[in-house]
Amino acid sequence: MLFLMSGVIGNLCVYEQRMQGNIGLTQGRLMSEAVMMALAQKGMNRQEAHELMRKLALKSEHEARPFKEVLLEDKLVTKRLNKKEIEKALNPKNYLGTTVSQIDSVVKKTMDERRTRE
């Protein structure tokens, strides 16, 4: 399994600009879950936040407008989140969680294993 993953990771190409372009296709709607979580952390009922994000994402799509604009116009959202908090929630880099540390840990463990086999 490690050998197989080594082949996958060894041949992996990441095209950051293409990834950014793909994220941009949704005009920010891709980050609706992060906004929902931010609203829940600010005291909004999770189910209500989910339904609100669904409604606003559809509005953004139907009106072909950036999700951020739609969020900033909504009184229920701005009652709980200010512009900076909305921007933070919409930033995909803030949504990586522990991904970076997990990758670093796997790479370190793999390198350590390789050294012990040499």
Nearest to 40 by CA among 48, 31, 32: 48
Q: How many domains does the chain have?
A: 1
Q: What is the dihedral of CA 68, 74, 77, 80, to 10 degrees?
A: 120
Q: Which pLDDT does position 117 carry in this prediction?
A: 81
22 vs 83 pLDDT, higher one: 83
Which regions of the chain does DSSP assign to beta strands (E)? Answer: none
**What is the residue-averaged pLDDT of the chain?**
91
Q: Is the pLDDT of residue 36 over 90?
A: yes
Check if the beta carbon of residue 56 is closer than 8 Å to that of residue 74. yes
Check which CATH number belongs to the domain holding 102 and give it: 1.10.40.30
Cα atoms in the Cβ-side hemisphere of radius 13 Å centred on 56 = 28
Looking at the chain, the whole-number percentage of residues with pLDDT higher than 70 is 100
Check residue 30 and give its pLDDT.
Answer: 92
Q: Is the pLDDT of residue 105 over 80?
A: yes
Q: What is the pLDDT of residue 39?
A: 98
Q: Which residues contact 49 (CB under 8 A, 6 or more apart)?
A: 36, 37, 39, 40
Which of these, 92, 118, 101, lies nearest to 21 by C-alpha position?
92
* pLDDT in the model for residue 14: 84
Range of the domain at 81: 2-117
